[in-house]
Amino acid sequence: MHTEKFIQLTLHFPIPSSMGSEDFFTTDSNHAAVDFIRSWPEWPEHHAIIVGPHKSGKKHLSCIWQENSKAESLTVLDDLFLTVLNNQHLKALILENVSQVAGDKVREEILFHLINRSKAGELDLLMLDAEPPSKWKIKLKDLKSRLKASPLFRIDPPDDLLLRVLILKQFSDRRLAISPEVLEYLSLHMTRNYEHIFEMIKTIDSYSLSTKRAVTIPLIRDILSHNNQ
């Protein structure tokens, strides 16, 4: 979103993100993944893959599980990933952006052995990615087979209820209150895309601050009209 055309320069501070289980809202869009996380430690396969778009809540869910399992967390491009098999005391592991092992022989083999350890009950392994394994360009046939057989849970685009909850939560995190009318207007005009929701609320906050205007339907209409130019 190109906001620089109509937003004056303002100071931006990081908005704290709440990652507790009480801050995660469950709807039809994500309930399968949530139910799986809550079922730990009764994971039959001891590993699974959660896939969903950027900002869809994969990281939040993994943080909830990490709090309970005391899992370590890595991305597969971390240098520590290359030595993870040496850690015989590792009992729970979160791997982010797992598809990035594709085409890297060493990393593909490490992931293969980690899945084998989980199948043997030695490790609980949670893998996260934006796309399902069928879209990863895995070269190692044995790994491809293991991934195909792995439990897979999808986080879908937000339904009506989740869309409203996300809008309210983003405004709440920024300590902004909105009216029911503004919430309804936004929910009708918002793209069903997690990242777009976050960016749109950020834009509204910035525009409201820079123009010293309250968050109203006319203000949002101004932003939407500029964005469509």
C-alpha of 187 from chain center: 20
Domain map (residue ranges) of the chain: 30-154, 160-227
- d(C-alpha 106, C-alpha 7), whole Å: 47
DSSP class of residue 80 equals G
Structure confidence by residue, pLDDT tens digits, 70-89: 999 999 999 999 999 999 99
Cα four-point dihedral sign 43, 45, 46, 48:
negative
Query: What is residue 98's predicted lDDT score, i.e. its pLDDT?
Result: 98
Query: What is residue 201's predicted lDDT score, i.e. its pLDDT?
Result: 96
Cα four-point dihedral sign 24, 25, 30, 31:
positive
Query: What is residue 23's predicted lDDT score, i.e. its pLDDT?
Result: 76
Architecture of domain 160-227: Orthogonal Bundle (1.10)
Q: Longest C-alpha distance within the chain, in Å?
A: 60
Q: Which of 85, 135, 155, 89 lies closest to 113 in space, CA to CA?
A: 85
Task: Tell which wins on pLDDT, 229 or 52.
Answer: 52
Amino acid (1-letter code) at residue 60: H
Domain 30-154 sits in CATH at 3.40.50.300
